[in-house]
Every structure is written in structure tokens, then in C-alpha cells.
């Protein structure tokens, strides 16, 4: 067995959304061969790993997060041979490969669900979450689905309801059943044996439900506006985050420990006490880490960052921190936080420096390194079920999923030679294409490369040692390690930081900042500076 390196600690992980990265067979949808063709770009950033959103056989009701065969590749993406070639190429470039795994639910087209729904006494009858209706025919409880409406769907064949946290096409697996856990372990081993280095576990805090099916209580927290989704009107204490899920995590982790140098990263979507939930899932022999969705919200202030980072880093129970500002499910952060920006490019550079100075591991979403804003799409261009249901108040996730832009003057930005792509490429994105930024040291792309290299070369940025400094409004400053200070102006207004708590010795990186004769920093809007100190 190879010695474990804990490569995932402090790793910079690059998320690839395969449908939108590169289309190699000209059908308008990205594929594995296209990813292989573009891996040199990913490696040039200096990242440690790639995370692939689902590539498995799927009817695509939720763009691959509804899996109908967990051990094969969807034909739209390629073949298992293509996958093996991708792993080989990634490893040759020094990149680890992380696969997205969906264990909370499957597709309703999965053979296991087809068997489960056929009767109440078949071998897989208890592989999904079934319940009788109330006397009046209504669902067994008040649980709501994230994508709208009741989380229960009536099935006439079994004359029961089945539970679905997401779409009705995504029935929840019953992880209370040890046979289901055994099957998941067989899936894990299939991909581990093909050389996969890690797994991003989708919606992993949804894998177990309250067996008593108690109603969820009303969410009584103060809110800034009316709820769009009925799901957000509840405090889902019974439909997820059950203690049995932690035991399942320990079983899965034990499998990984049989292999050399593999890792779990979890998606813990949680609005109620997120730090506590993350630490539960990442302490002990459970997940190696779980990225914190608390930094993918509209809130953008020093107080917010200090509160959320401290809650993880300074908690004695442990749990490795992992951070992201954007992904395929959230609005791109350049747009989400636009009210705080002087201009998009400067803001994109500042937030890149901020993310890459955080203690722990980080995830970068494809296109983030180009400073891409959220694409603005018309209703007729949408395919995301969330956007189609909740438009226009919630336009869904398609605006974060549009194709990568490689070449400004090429058809569809160089993503595809097809007449039409599955989502359109917008003019705003073409203006930020990779070929326009590559080689220009003043671009967002080059800044990401510079900042990732600085993170890799600076021991203080690869420690968890973090202390926040008292600063004027809108200024976030943290001491990293014994002698490094990272300072950011989160707002658009210039701010003077008089008599910094430690004098700057070596400035390692600076944007829009001056060090004045009065031993003070002038940080213009969205400035950032990283420096060593004399004390």
C-alpha cells in the first residue's frame, strides 16, 4: 500500500461540469474526450485535483444527479474506456480525480426502483422509502421537496407513497437498510479499483430520514423576504441530518481506508447551524472534509466571514475546513456579490485572493478563473427544473452552467462545433474567453495562476493557524501562520488602515493598495494585500 499523503489537506480542487466543459463529438454537450483535451488548461492553474459532476448513466431529469446505472458512463459523455483515459491523463499531469456520487437517491428509472415499486414483497421492496397514506389519502407527513411541492409521490402499483427530497424522478434510497449500504459499498469499490482518488458525496446529509416520519416544524427564523419554496418554510429536522447517517459515513470511510490515499468531500447543504452539522459529518472516521455552503450565500461582510470561518477552524471537535464561493448549484459569486464590486475584474481578483488565503481546502468552479459572471438567460433557454418551476423569482441554476468559453472568435466560444449547444454561450462570457486572457499578466486568469502558486509556496497559507484583526468597516484582515497578514477591502469605497497592527516587511501580493509614509495602508475599493510582518 502506498503511504498516505493526506493530499486533500490544503488542496485546491477544480470543479468540472462535464456537460459544459468541452464538446469533442459536436453534439452540443460536453464529454470526457473534451475534458481530456482541456486538462492542460486545468493543470496550468496549479490545482491539485479535478472534481467531475456526475457522468453516470442517467435520464437527465436533473442533469445527471438522477442516476440509473452507477457503474457505467452515460453515452452522452462517452465510455468507460474514455473515463480510464481521462484518469490516466489527469494522473500524468499530477491531478487527482474526484467523482461525484449520489447516494441520497437514484433515478426512478434505476432497475432497483423499478423492482421496488412492483410490489410490497419483492427483494428490493425496502430499498426505497415507502409509506402508507393517511386515511384521507394524503401523504404520511408534511415533508416538502426542495424542487417544489410535497416530498411524497403516490404510486398506484404499491398503493403507497414514496419519498423524494428532490424531483419525483429522484426517489430516496433507504439507507437504513444494510443491503442498500452494501450495494453502495460495491459501487465505491468499482470506482476505487479504477483509480479514482476521491468522491464528492452529493446531498450526503439527506441520506437518512426519521423512521417515525414525524412532521417537520415551521421555520420561525426572521427572514429578509417571503419564501419562494414551501421547503424553505420548514425546519427539516426529521427529513435529514439523522444520527444514523453518521454510522453510514463510518462504514463508507472504512472502505476508503483499505485503499491508498483516497478522500471523501461532502456536500452538506444546511441553513440551520451549518458549522455544527459540518463538524458532525467530518469529525472522527467519517468524511475527510465537507465544503461550507455558508460562503455561497448573498451575505458578504467581514463579520460574516469571521463568524463562519471561526466556527469551523476554532472548534475543538475538529473537522477539516473546505471552502467554495461558487459551484453548479449557486449563482456565480461575481454576480451574487456585485453590489460590493468596483468592477468585475478587480472584484474577481480580490475574491480569488480571499478564497485562496482561507485555512483548509478550497474548490474553484470552472470559469471562476476567468471571472465569469452569471449568464443571463431567457425562460425559453432554460432546462433546469428548478428554474422552470420557480421563474422569475428564482431563475434556477442554468446561468451558472453555461459552456466554458475558450476562444472569443470561435463558434460557441470554442466549446462545440455543433449548430446548437445544450445551453447558450452569452456575449458577456465571450468577452472573457480564455484565449483573450492567457498570457496577459493583468487578467483574472493569470491572477488565479499567480495566487495558486503563492498559496502552494507559502507555508503559512497551508496551515490552519488563523487570527482575525480589528479593522475599519468593510476591511477583512487575518493573520495566517506566525508572520503573514492577508487584508481585503470587501467594499467599493477607499479605506485607510492607520497604523496596522504589524508593520509590513515583504509584500507578496498587492492589488489597488498603497503603503503610505505614515505607515498606513490606503486600500481602494476591492483592494487586497498579502505581506509578511516584522512583529
Whether residues 427 and 511 share a domain: the answer is no
Q: What is the pLDDT of residue 501?
A: 60
Range of the domain at 489: 465-533
Q: What is the pLDDT of residue 502?
A: 63
- Smallest CA-to-CA distance from 95 within 18, 14, 181, 182 is with 14
Q: At what angle do helices 244-256 and 274-282 cross, to 10 degrees?
A: 40
Distance CA 297, CA 187 (A): 33
Residue 139 is assigned to a structural domain of this protein: no
Each residue's pLDDT tens digit, 499-530 = 666 666 788 999 999 877 667 889 999 999 99
Share of the chain above pLDDT 70, in %: 98
Whether residues 371 and 498 share a domain: the answer is no
Residue 119 is assigned to a structural domain of this protein: no
- Smallest CA-to-CA distance from 97 within 56, 39, 45, 44 is with 39
Q: At what angle do helices 302-313 and 274-282 cross, to 10 degrees?
A: 30
What are the grid coordinates assigned to 149, written together? Answer: 411541492
Task: Tell me the average pLDDT across 411-418.
Answer: 98
Q: What is the pLDDT of residue 271?
A: 75
List the helix and strand counts (H, then E) for the chain: 13, 19
Distance CA 80, CA 88 (A): 12
Residue 407 is assigned to a structural domain of this protein: yes
Whether residues 480 and 438 share a domain: the answer is no
pLDDT confidence bin for 293, thresholds 50/70/90 = confident
Residue 490 is assigned to a structural domain of this protein: yes
Q: What is the pLDDT of residue 503?
A: 65
Q: What is the pLDDT of residue 239?
A: 97
Q: What is the pLDDT of residue 4?
A: 81
What are the grid coordinates assigned to 102, written together? Answer: 449520489
Question: Cα–Cα distances in Å, from 56 out to 65, 186, 190, 391, 526?
Answer: 9, 15, 13, 28, 41
401, 423, 455 — which closes off a domain?
Answer: 455
Highest averaged pLDDT of the listed ranges 365-379, 488-502, 514-528: 365-379
Answer yes or no: are the C-beta atoms of 133 and 155 closer than 8 Å.
no
Whether residues 291 and 338 share a domain: the answer is yes
Whether residues 425 and 478 share a domain: the answer is no
Whether residues 359 and 478 share a domain: the answer is no
Each residue's pLDDT tens digit, 31-88 = 999 999 999 999 999 999 999 999 999 999 999 999 999 999 999 999 999 999 999 9
Match 476591511 to its residue by C-alpha cell.
475
Q: What is the mean pLDDT of the chain?
A: 95
Whether residues 338 and 485 share a domain: the answer is no
Of 103-112, 214-223, 236-245, 424-433, which gets the smallest average pLDDT?
A: 214-223
Whether residues 413 and 521 share a domain: the answer is no
Q: Distance between alpha carbon 199 and the CA centroid of its chain, in Å?
A: 12
- Smallest CA-to-CA distance from 272 within 200, 223, 327 is with 223
The number of C-alpha atoms within 13 Å of 292 and in the hemisphere containing its C-beta is 31
Whole-number CA gyration radius for the chain: 23
Whether residues 37 and 181 share a domain: the answer is yes
Provide the 8-state DSSP code for 228.
Answer: S
Residue 284 is assigned to a structural domain of this protein: yes
Residue 156 is assigned to a structural domain of this protein: no
Q: What is the pLDDT of residue 499?
A: 64
Is the pTM for the entire model greater than 0.75? Answer: yes
Q: What is the pLDDT of residue 281?
A: 94
Residue 115 is assigned to a structural domain of this protein: no
Task: Tell me the average pLDDT across 175-187.
Answer: 98
Specify the pairing of strand 49-52 against strand 12-16.
parallel
pLDDT confidence bin for 318, thresholds 50/70/90 = confident
Task: Tell me the average pLDDT across 192-221.
Answer: 96
Each residue's pLDDT tens digit, 342-351 = 999 999 999 9
pLDDT confidence bin for 266, thresholds 50/70/90 = very high
Q: What is the pLDDT of residue 14?
A: 98
390, 420, 455 — which closes off a domain?
Answer: 455
Spatial neighbors of 57 by CB under 8 A, at least 6 apart, are 67, 68, 69, 72, 73, 74, 75
- In CATH, what number is assigned to the domain containing residue 529? 2.60.40.1180
DSSP letter string over 147-188? TSSBSEEEETTTTEEEE-SS-TTSPBB-TTSHHHHHHHHHHH
Task: Give bridge partners of residue 533 from the DSSP assignment.
Answer: 504
Q: What is the dihedral of CA 475, 479, 483, 487, to 10 degrees?
A: -20
Match 476554532 to its residue by C-alpha cell.
314
394, 421, 455 — which closes off a domain?
Answer: 455
What burial letters (b/e) apply to 422-449, b meaning 16+ CB within 10 Å? bbbbbeebbebbbebbeeeeebbbbbbb
Q: With a cut of 80, say whether residue 325 has pLDDT above it.
A: yes
Each residue's pLDDT tens digit, 120-153 = 999 999 999 999 999 999 999 999 999 999 999 9
Q: What is the pLDDT of residue 270?
A: 82
Answer yes or no: are the C-beta atoms of 12 and 361 closer than 8 Å.
yes
Whether residues 260 and 294 share a domain: the answer is yes
Provide the 8-state DSSP code for 443.
Answer: S
What are the grid coordinates assigned to 5, written together? Answer: 499523503
Whether residues 366 and 514 share a domain: the answer is no
- In CATH, what number is assigned to the domain containing residue 204? 3.20.20.80
Domains in the chain: how many in total? 2
Residue 423 is assigned to a structural domain of this protein: yes
Positions annotated as catalytic residues are: 202, 258
Q: Distance between alpha carbon 477 and the CA centroid of its chain, in Å?
A: 25
Q: What is the pLDDT of residue 314?
A: 84
Whether residues 369 and 430 share a domain: the answer is yes
Q: With a cut of 60, say whether residue 372 has pLDDT above it.
A: yes
Amino acid at each position: 500500500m502506498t503511504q498516505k499523503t493526506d493530499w486533500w489537506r490544503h488542496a485546491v480542487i477544480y470543479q468540472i461540469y462535464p456537460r459544459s466543459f468541452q464538446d469533442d463529438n459536436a453534439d452540443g454537450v460536453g464529454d470526457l474526450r473534451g475534458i481530456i483535451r482541456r486538462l492542460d488548461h486545468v493543470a496550468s492553474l496549479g490545482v491539485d485535483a479535478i472534481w467531475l459532476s456526475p457522468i453516470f448513466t442517467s435520464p437527465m431529469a436533473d442533469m445527471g444527479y438522477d442516476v440509473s446505472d452507477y457503474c457505467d458512463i452515460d453515452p452522452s459523455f462517452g465510455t468507460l474506456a474514455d473515463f480510464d483515459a481521462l484518469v490516466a491523463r489527469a494522473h500524468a499531469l499530477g491531478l487527482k480525480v474526484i467523482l461525484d456520487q449520489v447516494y441520497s437517491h437514484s433515478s426512478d428509472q434505476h432497475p432497483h426502483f423499478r423492482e421496488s415499486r412492483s410490489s410490497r414483497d419483492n427483494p428490493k421492496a425496502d430499498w426505497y422509502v415507502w409509506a402508507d397514506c393517511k386515511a384521507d389519502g394524503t401523504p404520511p407527513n408534511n415533508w416538502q421537496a426542495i424542487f417544489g411541492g410535497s416530498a411524497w409521490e403516490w404510486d398506484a402499483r404499491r398503493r403507497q407513497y414514496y419519498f423524494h427530497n428532490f424531483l419525483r424522478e429522484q426517489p430516496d434510497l433507504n439507507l437504513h437498510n444494510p443491503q442498500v449500504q452494501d450495494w453502495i459499498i460495491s459501487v465505491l469499490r468499482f470506482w476505487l479499483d479504477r483509480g479514482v482518488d476521491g468522491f464528492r458525496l452529493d446531498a450526503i446529509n439527506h441520506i437518512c430520514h426519521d423512521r417515525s416520519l414525524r412532521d417537520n416544524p415551521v421555520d420561525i427564523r426572521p427572514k429578509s423576504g417571503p419564501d419562494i419554496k414551501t421547503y424553505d418554510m420548514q425546519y427539516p429536522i426529521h427529513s435529514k441530518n439523522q444520527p444514523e447517517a453518521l454510522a453510514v459515513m463510518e462504514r463508507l470511510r472504512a472502505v476508503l481506508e483499505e485503499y491508498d490515499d483516497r478522500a471523501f468531500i461532502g456536500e452538506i447543504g444546511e441553513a440551520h447551524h451549518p458549522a455544527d452539522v459540518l463538524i458532525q459529518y467530518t469529525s472522527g472516521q467519517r468524511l475527510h472534509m465537507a465544503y461550507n455552503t455558508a460562503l455561497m450565500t448573498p451575505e458578504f461582510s467581514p463579520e460574516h466571514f469571521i463568524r463562519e470561518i471561526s466556527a469551523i477552524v476554532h472548534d475543538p471537535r475538529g473537522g477539516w475546513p473546505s471552502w467554495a464561493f461558487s459551484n453548479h448549484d449557486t449563482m456565480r459569486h461575481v454576480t451574487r456579490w456585485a453590489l460590493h464590486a468596483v468592477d468585475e475584474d478587480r472584484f474577481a481578483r480580490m475574491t480569488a485572493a480571499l478564497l485562496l488565503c482561507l485555512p483548509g481546502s478550497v474548490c474553484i468552479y470552472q470559469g471562476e478563473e476567468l471571472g465569469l459572471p452569471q449568464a443571463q438567460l431567457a425562460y425559453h433557454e432554460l432546462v433546469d427544473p428548478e428554474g422552470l418551476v420557480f421563474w422569475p423569482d428564482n431563475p434556477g441554476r442554468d446561468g451558472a452552467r453555461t459552456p466554458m468559453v475558450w476562444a472569443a472568435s470561435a463558434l460557441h466560444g470554442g466549446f462545440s462545433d455543433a449548430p446548437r449547444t445544450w445551453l447558450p454561450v452569452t456575449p458577456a462570457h465571450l468577452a472573457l474567453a480564455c484565449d483573450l486572457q492567457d498570457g496577459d499578466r493583468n487578467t483574472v486568469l493569470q491572477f488565479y495562476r499567480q495566487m495558486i502558486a503563492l498559496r502552494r509556496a507559502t507555508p503559512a497559507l497551508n496551515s490552519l493557524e488563523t487570527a482575525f484583526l480589528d479593522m475599519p468597516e468593510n476591511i477583512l484582515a487575518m493573520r495566517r501562520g506566525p508572520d503573514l497578514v492577508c487584508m481585503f477591502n470587501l467594499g467599493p469605497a477607499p479605506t485607510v488602515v492607520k497604523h496596522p497592527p504589524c508593520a509590513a516587511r515583504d509584500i507578496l501580493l498587492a492589488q489597488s493598495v498603497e503603503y503610505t509614509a505614515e505607515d498606513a495602508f490606503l486600500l481602494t475599493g476591492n483592494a487586497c494585500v498579502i505581506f509578511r510582518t516584522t512583529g
